[in-house]
Structure 1
């Protein structure tokens, strides 16, 4: 009788395990759809009006305003039950002043902010979703709010994290771990992401890809009124990543994906100009999501009332859908290119 009971228990556990591993993680599944639909323009707007408010003083690197913005971000992660990397011991990775020297500039100590959702099956493999949360501060008493640059990316990362957490609560936690990385010092020289890449919380060898978001709330003159996003670098290091992003787009928001800045001859050289590059230089596949250079770029007029919130929502949903596939597909994406630029 005892053997029959033990057999029944083992069989029951096996069936439960089988059910867990055969859950539908496709774009047609309820787990994805519910999480995807939780990314709303209303929540993005609510957070951005706080992150890009005058009392954040333009979020210059190491400033009181930037630290205040960081406290708000962490409060939201705590509210949503999203923790930090266990090895770090908090949401903060200190970036010391000594690591942020260039052109004779002296910056105060600052912090990267890291939130983390552990994987259910491939805990050691890490998908990074990144954005910088600093901007250029206050000049001559005028606050440069940086709503698009990069308040839009900051709130998108927060909303994507919340969507993954919602899926986790319903039993659809990501199979690979996801690091939500808010870096400092981008405006002064990509310092925060450089510091992370040289002092990684998780081994770079285990980092599958970085999806970097820097300005996704506006449109540029070339694409005025279009439903589009620039995607930069998605096929530089992995033939899989561009295909995955395009498939995610086709299944969801159906934006026009513009690859203009992938041209090595492009004078803007944007592949090198945001935080993804500090992953790419270590041969980690990257995709950089960007809206272009618009008339309020690095001006005091980059304010939250000028953001196209429905378009910001779609772009955030595209990054989420891409991260979802990267996190849940059976195999890690290939690295079959080499960063030689």
Structure 2
């Protein structure tokens, strides 16, 4: 009697272990968490972030100070720490750094999730938190698309990564959520991080995914809404470009428009957002962009004009791309 009982127990143990292994292989996929990124959450956050209360978020002004507190409160609520110091999410940038512009000192906001296997390798997801403030006639430039859309996208991406980490499926590489200031007056916040105070060594930075205006449709795509401009993805790492294309093909099937990626593009968008301060340091980048529209840099760039279904899809695409970069076995290579 003892021997059959022992064999039966062993059989149950083997089947149980096999089931656990299968569950383990299935668990921790980006698709398990991507649906946490929703149009409703993006809309709720953006209607606050791009409200008159924030006074256009001009660098160094009271509205920008409200903006950094809003961002910090989200990370605190999510339980995502700062890499600077316990409870200190602000990278202080002195007024002297702004090259004589009449602006007060300002702040980048940093939060991160430590990698489970390769914590010294960093994926940076960035967006600028500032806008152009109040017009001379008193109109508030809310900057819902520019770049409220990128700001709230990062908050949703961070939430999804944190949910995965809480389930034991944290990213292999560390993720830095970097909200930079001073973009509108010369890319100052990203330049400060890259040139003066890189909290993580640039040599350890695998890639920068930069989000600047992803909530609208430009005139070219009015009849084909499911698109996104990508800039820079193939300039330093063809592997990064291939990964991005594969993620899109597998999950989203958006039109990825590379018009502005052309070296001869007269708009020179490659040099005009925060990714450039990483690219100039040989860090592979992707700049996500919906193109310009009639409300660009005007008081009419308001949250009611954001197309939240598109914002959701684009944010999910960036999350899945970041997930792939953070969890693949080998770090992507420079060409």
**TM-score, structure 2 as length reference:** 0.91
Which position in structure 1 is the counterpart of 2:146? 149
For structure 2, the residue ranges without an aligned partner over 5 or more in a row are 1-16
The alignment partner of 2:33 has SS state of helix
Which position in structure 2 is the counterpart of 1:227? 226
Which position in structure 2 is the counterpart of 1:201? 199
How many residues are matched?
A: 316
Alpha-carbon separation, structure 2, partners of 1:264 and 1:89: 42
Deviation at 1:144, TM superposition (A): 0.2
Instruction: State yes or no: 1:126 paired with 2:125.
Output: no
Instruction: Please show how residues 138-287 of structure 1 align to structure 2 within 5 Å.
Output: 138-139=134-135, 140-198=137-195, 199-225=197-223, 226-287=225-286
Alpha-carbon separation, structure 2, partners of 1:278 and 1:63: 24
The root-mean-square deviation of aligned C-alpha atoms, in Å, is 2.0
Which position in structure 2 is the counterpart of 1:334? 333
Alpha-carbon separation, structure 1, partners of 2:113 and 2:241: 24
Which position in structure 1 is the counterpart of 2:12? none
CA contact (8 A) 1:88 1:201 kept: no
Which position in structure 2 is the counterpart of 1:82? 80
Alpha-carbon separation, structure 2, partners of 1:146 and 1:119: 33
C-alpha distance after superposition, 1:189-233 (max 9, x if no partner)? 000000000110000000000000000000110111420000000
Deviation at 1:88, TM superposition (A): 7.7
C-alpha distance after superposition, 1:13-43 (max 9, x if no partner)? xxx9xx89x944xxx7564222101000000
Assess, with a 3 A threshold, how the Cα gap between structure 1 residues 78 and 88 changes in structure 2: closer, same or farther: closer
C-alpha distance after superposition, 1:266-301 (max 9, x if no partner)? 110000000000000000000000000111000110
Which position in structure 1 is the counterpart of 2:321? 322
For structure 1, the residue ranges without an aligned partner over 5 or more in a row are 1-15, 337-341
- State which of 20, 40, 43 in structure 1 corresponds to 2:41: 43
Alpha-carbon separation, structure 2, partners of 1:275 and 1:32: 26
Alpha-carbon separation, structure 2, partners of 1:42 and 1:82: 22
CA contact (8 A) 2:84 2:199 kept: no
Alpha-carbon separation, structure 2, partners of 1:96 and 1:165: 31
Alpha-carbon separation, structure 2, partners of 1:306 and 1:207: 35
The alignment partner of 2:80 has SS state of coil
CA contact (8 A) 2:81 2:87 kept: no
Alpha-carbon separation, structure 2, partners of 1:86 and 1:332: 24
